[in-house]
Structure 1
Amino acid sequence: MTSPDSPTPWNAPFDGDLTDDLALALRLADEADRVSMQRFDAPDLDIETKADATYVTEADLATERAIRALLEAERPGDGVFGEEFGSSGDAVRQWIIDPIDGTSNYLKGIPMWATLIALVVDGVPRVGVVSQPALARRWWGATGLGAWTTTPAGEERRISVSDVSSLDGASVSFQSIAQWDEAGRSDALLRLSRAVWRDRGYGDAWPYMLLAEGRLEFVAEFDVKEYDIAAHVPIILEAGGRFTDIEGVESVASRSSLATNGVLHDDFLALLQGASS
């Protein structure tokens, strides 16, 4: 099922060449890594609380500014939507960025955070980069160009989802028990945990990339914004998986996400919907 805002299925071929856009996204990630790592684990890091009670650091702001500056120089006609400075420009080709996904980890000196960069064309996420510089890891993908990662040793390799085909053999990740409870889905989470082989709450961007690498079969969240998940979509799709919201709709704007290895997607949807009914 596709989103009303994006009638084109996410797995539809792209009529064009995304090679240059992907190359730019990787350069954006290079610049983001340079800026964000300068202040990581700094004892005098400036931290503020936003109106929604979440944290923002000087590094979040500086990293998004750096990404926007490069986009203004390289793609002045494209739109930009970022977590810290909102949206601007044309939404037909829109770069969606989260300068530091996992700010709570960043400000604690925990290396589980990432910069998320996506290019959405006509409502479809087409390019995605997830960069985790504190762990020397990066993942990227674009429609028709595959899904890739760099290992800590600096080697590039193509990645793909697992071929696990039964729920009782699946390993799953969720953001937190509290998040599912606040969404009124604690019954679904309990039923999920009873149906699968293994469940863990890895959190933030990393479990999506573990799924793309074939190490997990399911990742789901609630209360997510476009910039939290748009970068994951092209990577997971190019790795052979599926990505929808919790109701099975292809949308990054419906405030929930469900990523799977593809073969189990409908089974997970049925399980979650049955648990919440």
Structure 2
Amino acid sequence: MADYHDDLRLAHVLADSADSVTMERFKALDLKVETKPDLTPVSDADKAAEELVRSVLQRARPRDAVMGEEYGLQGSGPRRWVIDPIDGTKNYVRGVPVWATLIALLEEQPDGDLQPVVGIVSAPALNRRWWAAKDLGAYAGRSLAKASRIQVSKVGRIEDASFSYSSLTGWEERGRLDPFLDLTRACWRTRAYGDFWSYMMVAEGAVDIAAEPELSLWDMAAPCIVVQEAGGRFTGLDGIDGPTGADAVATNGLLHKEALRRLSV
């Protein structure tokens, strides 16, 4: 069995580095924001945080590949670090504290697929951090020394479930608005916590279902392993486990089939 303790410690170092950049620039009056070709915003903090994480990885793990939202893929091989320097940039640039740096290590499996084996979600403006490593469990806290193990809920009926999402637009654009609304009506409670926070709430047992229709690998890799190690399931809308597609459904496991059934109509 592989031991990921060293990689997990490194992930915390990487997150600390990113936090130092993102918190320094958060609410800065001179924050520079541009619009990318896909019409999403990117700030100078996004770029600086990813650059710093890449530089640390280059020294610590020079043989590993690195993929980031802002600077793409560098290198190749059976191990790949995946970085989203700021998940929730729209919140970040408006001064809303719900944003996080997502860092994951993916490792090639026997079938050739890359799957997350280490993940960390650091939300310094919320003073929260979540992390996990394969077969080591999922935790929340501010450091490895100050952490509590987390686990998903035991809610087993859809009518008792709490469901979190990001927005309606993506579901409408993909022609899935009606199934999405069907799920919201079936659940006891719905809230748009959005982005990484939806998945971390699933991992903590505060929310039972989270789903998004339009995602990239860097949005999903770190949350995926945290949810899985907390005892939940993380799949695409196609039901395939892992961050393999362009969408995601995360649940406590007990509600997964029902959530997929309703969203796939």
The TM-score bracket by the shorter chain reads: over 0.9
1:195 aligns with 2:181: no
Report the alpha carbon displacement of residue 252 of structure 1 after superposing the two structures with TM: 2.0
Q: Does 1:160 align with 2:146?
A: no
The amino acid of 1:34's aligned partner reads S
Q: Deviations over 1:142-189 (max 9, x none)?
A: 01111000169x941000000000000000011111111111111111
Once residues 36 and 5 of structure 2 are traced to their aligned partners in structure 1, the CA distance between those partners, rounded to angstroms, is: 37
Q: How does 1:1-277 map to 2 (within 5 A)?
A: 15-122=1-108, 123-150=114-141, 155-273=146-264, 276=265
Contact persistence 2:233–2:241 (CA under 8 A):
no
Q: Residue by residue, what CA displacement relative to the aligned partner does 1:118-138 show, whole Å, maximum 9, x if unpaired?
A: 000011111000000011100
Q: CA deviation at 1:250?
A: 2.2
Residue 20 of structure 2: SS of its match in structure 1?
A: helix
Q: Distance in 1 between matches of 2:214 and 2:233?
A: 19
Q: CA RMSD in A?
A: 1.3
In the alignment, is the contact (CA less than 8 A) between 2:205 and 2:252 conserved in 1? yes
Q: Tell me how far 1:201 sits from its aligned partner.
A: 1.0
Partner of 1:4: none
What do the CA deviations read for 1:218-276 (whole angstroms, capped 9, x no partner)?
10101100001100111111100000001101242411001000011111112222xx3
Contact 2:180 2:262 survives alignment (8 Å): no
SS at match of 1:150: strand
CA distance, structure 2, for counterparts of residue 156 and residue 168 of structure 1: 32
Structure 1 distance, partners of 2:148, 2:104, is 20
Quote the offset at 1:77 in angstroms. 0.1
4+ aligned runs moved over 4 Å, structure 1: none
In the superposition, relative to structure 1, how do residues 174 and 91 fare at CA in structure 2: closer, same or farther (>3 Å)? farther
- TM-score under structure 2 length normalisation: 0.95
Sequence identity of aligned pairs in percent?
Answer: 49
The residue type paired with residue 165 of structure 1 is G
Structure 2 gap segments, 5+ residues each? 109-113
Residue aligned with 1:210, SS: helix
Deviations along 1:97-118, one digit per CA (max 9) or x if unpaired, are: 0000011111111100000000
By how many angstroms is 1:91 displaced? Answer: 3.9
CA contact (8 A) 1:225 1:253 kept: no
Distance in 1 (alpha carbons) for counterparts of 2:156 and 2:88: 31
Matched residue SS, 1:205: helix
SS at match of 1:230: helix
Do 1:78 and 1:90's aligned partners in 2 also have CA atoms closer than 8 Å?
Answer: yes
Map of 2:111 onto structure 1: none
CA contact (8 A) 1:173 1:200 kept: yes
Whole-Å separation in 2 of the counterparts to 1:190 and 1:267: 14
Q: Kindly tell me the number of residue pairs found equivalent between the two proteins.
A: 259
